[in-house]
Structure 1
Amino acid sequence: MTKPVSSVSVTAGDESVSLPIIKGTMGPDVIDIHALSSALGLLNYDPGFVGTASCESKITFIDGEKSLLLYRGYPIEELAERATFTEVAYLLLNEELPNVEQYRHFSQLLKKQSLLHEQIRNFFNGFRRDAHPMAILCGTVGALSAFYHEAVDISNEASRMLSAIRLIAKIPTIAAWAYKYTQGETFMYPRSEYSYSENLLYMMFATPMEPYVMNPVVARAIDRILILHADHEQNASTSTVRLAGSTGANPFACISAGIAALWGPAHGGANEAVLKMLDSIGRKENIPAFIEKVKDKNSGIRLMGFGHRVYKNFDPRAKIMQNACHDVLNELGITHEPLLELAMELEKIALEDPYFIERKLYPNVDFYSGIIFRALGIPSSMFTPLFAVARATGWISQWKEMIEGTQRINRPRQLYTGASLRHFTPISTRD
């Protein structure tokens, strides 16, 4: 733990206690409130933990006021424009960007581990054909621990790293096969000549009938999407991974817990909500009326894909995603797809409307990623699984950091507002 730089005094009744103030590399200082309970008998009440630093981490930093997102100190804009997802995965796991030899070795490890145990194929047959891909992903990732028993030994450094590499390598295969299964199509195995993002596309869209032609513009867009979603500080799913990991659970079980948390529409389903909103608008001429409903607080209509809980100005990932979106649409020659035209018109109007400008409701990363996925013919049921493919690298890096640091089982307390002490009476005497 970082050493305190100062302290603040808190008094309750006749008792006082000095609470240490800890300073991080960047961001707000943190007050260590341990003594509130032991010395004063008080607990910190913070619903949703929005004002609580639950851990110490060196992985990701967000400054919502400045629209800043850093992975290990590197701005997201630089990584998305200049790095590959494999480089970013190495960075999140190992704290530094790889050199040429480290990159080659890490890439080969990921490719080698991208194959699934053949018995895992049988798992898919146990799911209904109309099962949601997130259900398949959540169950299958959790089941990996049944095949890799050494993952249970989280005290071994080599075992932790091997589990991390296996997870990052195998989750695109599981997600792609979940998609193929729901489509009733043949599973495609990863190929050594393809990059991480290229293999994801290949396994989702290739068939045994004919050679698959890789589109480099599309592959680069997918790579950017994965980079932009790789980690995002202590969000709901990452906190879930850390919470599960604090018990000493194996890493595959912890990541499965993170996938379950991501599945919630308030977390990982935002880009899917964008397309549902566009479907509800229907036509470009309906946009002005829709915008007026959004401005009406009593309408209950929300503008999905605009604004962000953390970023108070603009989402730094959005501009990169916007460029990738237009690159993909231009590459695919999509100029008359009604839903995409609708999205572009909505973007234009919202960016010019004083109501949204004053409230800093700019398009966020989810607005554009959903459009890219729709342009590629990816169904909305696969949006969150692809989010999970990206975020798995951040999850396993956060898990690894926690295990290698000060691991303490998480045990939040509560503000109890239920009945006070009372005693049992026989049922025959109750009114």
Structure 2
Amino acid sequence: EKLPKAEGGSEPLPEGLFYLMLLGDLPTQEDTDHLSSVWQRRSHVPNHVFNTIDALPLSTHPMTMFVVGVMALQTESHFSKAYSEGINKKDYWNPIYDDAMDLIARLPRIAAYVYRRKYKNNEHIQPNGLLDWAGNLAHMMGYNDESFRELMRLYMTIHADHEGGNVSAHTTHLVGSALSDPYLSYA
């Protein structure tokens, strides 16, 4: 109820919930819009990721394609590079933060790419820089009506917090504790 919404929308923007979970403060509309623009700037997915997904047989399960795409993104890891260069342990948080922000920003591109490859004759739709994070996912999937964008905003907001027992969240914590970068941890 208190989280910012898209203009004319009724569902909270996932960016606002992310802000709240990260900082513990309710975001303003300006905070949420800023985070949307940050994720938009970080959302570029290198071509080798799409080429890697395309190398898989079309019969591959979509979650396998998605995980392979995330793993292919690992080549872009700030933490992996900094760790191999001997980063001081007290500074780990900075490249891990950058990796997490990049990964969150790029996930809709990969998810939509897999969806369009698997179910829409490999006809892909480029992102729309004017849309929010979840709205852009809906757009890239090929659903441009506002009601579907609202559904995606609600769905992403509901599923944002997997704390306290979710198996995938537990696995991410466990793998991350072994000094793996966020890409390896998430995949």
- Comparing both chains, which one has the higher relative contact order based on Cα–Cα distances under 8 Å and sequence gaps of 6 or more? 2
Which residue matches 1:370? none
* Counterparts in 2 of 1:157 and 1:243: CA distance versus 1, 3 Å: closer
Asked if 1:238 corresponds to 2:169, the answer is yes
Asked if 1:167 corresponds to 2:103, the answer is yes
Structure 1 distance, partners of 2:77, 2:101, is 15
Q: Do the aligned residues in 2 keep the contact of 1:115 with 1:190 (CA within 8 Å)?
A: no
Aligned 1:73-152 pairs, distance under 5 A:
83-146=12-75, 148-152=76-80
Q: Do the aligned residues in 2 keep the contact of 1:140 with 1:174 (CA within 8 Å)?
A: yes
Structure 1 distance, partners of 2:22, 2:172, is 15
Aligned 1:58-73 pairs, distance under 5 A:
none
> What is the Cα deviation at residue 85 of structure 1?
1.2
Letter in 1 for 2:49: I
> What is the Cα deviation at residue 225 of structure 1?
1.0
> What is the Cα deviation at residue 134 of structure 1?
0.2
Letter in 2 for 1:196: W
Q: Do the aligned residues in 1 keep the contact of 2:53 with 2:68 (CA within 8 Å)?
A: no
> What is the Cα deviation at residue 100 of structure 1?
4.0
Letter in 1 for 2:111: A
- Partner deviation per Cα, 1:32-60 (whole Å, 9 max, x = no partner): xxxxxxxxxxxxxxxxxxxxxxxxxxxxx
Aligned 1:388-399 pairs, distance under 5 A:
none
Structure 2 distance, partners of 1:189, 1:82, is 24
Letter in 1 for 2:52: F
Q: Secondary structure at the match of 1:178?
A: helix
Q: Secondary structure at the match of 2:68?
A: helix
Give structure 1 stretches of 5+ with no counterpart. Answer: 1-76, 207-213, 257-431
Q: Do the aligned residues in 1 keep the contact of 2:138 with 2:149 (CA within 8 Å)?
A: yes
Structure 1 distance, partners of 2:126, 2:98, is 21
Structure 2 distance, partners of 1:141, 1:168, is 11
* Counterparts in 2 of 1:236 and 1:193: CA distance versus 1, 3 Å: same
Letter in 2 for 1:237: S
> What is the Cα deviation at residue 78 of structure 1?
5.8
Q: Do the aligned residues in 2 keep the contact of 1:201 with 1:219 (CA within 8 Å)?
A: yes
Structure 2 distance, partners of 1:165, 1:242, is 17
Which residue matches 1:193? 130
* TM-score, length-scaled by structure 1: 0.37
Letter in 1 for 2:103: L
Letter in 1 for 2:152: I
Asked if 1:250 corresponds to 2:181, the answer is yes
> What is the Cα deviation at residue 191 of structure 1?
1.2
- Partner deviation per Cα, 1:320-368 (whole Å, 9 max, x = no partner): xxxxxxxxxxxxxxxxxxxxxxxxxxxxxxxxxxxxxxxxxxxxxxxxx
* Counterparts in 2 of 1:78 and 1:101: CA distance versus 1, 3 Å: closer
The percent identity for this pair of structures is: 26
Structure 2 distance, partners of 1:97, 1:163, is 24
Aligned 1:187-226 pairs, distance under 5 A:
187-205=124-142, 214-226=144-156
- Partner deviation per Cα, 1:189-227 (whole Å, 9 max, x = no partner): 211011112211111116xxxxxxx32222112111111
Q: Do the aligned residues in 2 keep the contact of 1:115 with 1:189 (CA within 8 Å)?
A: no
Total equivalences in the alignment: 172
Which residue matches 1:229? 159
- Partner deviation per Cα, 1:226-259 (whole Å, 9 max, x = no partner): 1111113231111100110111111100000xxx
> What is the Cα deviation at residue 163 of structure 1?
1.1
Which residue matches 2:94? 158
Root-mean-square deviation (Å): 2.1
Q: Secondary structure at the match of 2:122?
A: coil
* Counterparts in 2 of 1:243 and 1:156: CA distance versus 1, 3 Å: closer
Letter in 2 for 1:96: D
Give structure 2 stretches of 5+ with no counterpart. Answer: 84-90
Structure 2 distance, partners of 1:125, 1:78, is 42
Structure 2 distance, partners of 1:189, 1:239, is 33
Q: Do the aligned residues in 2 keep the contact of 1:114 with 1:190 (CA within 8 Å)?
A: no
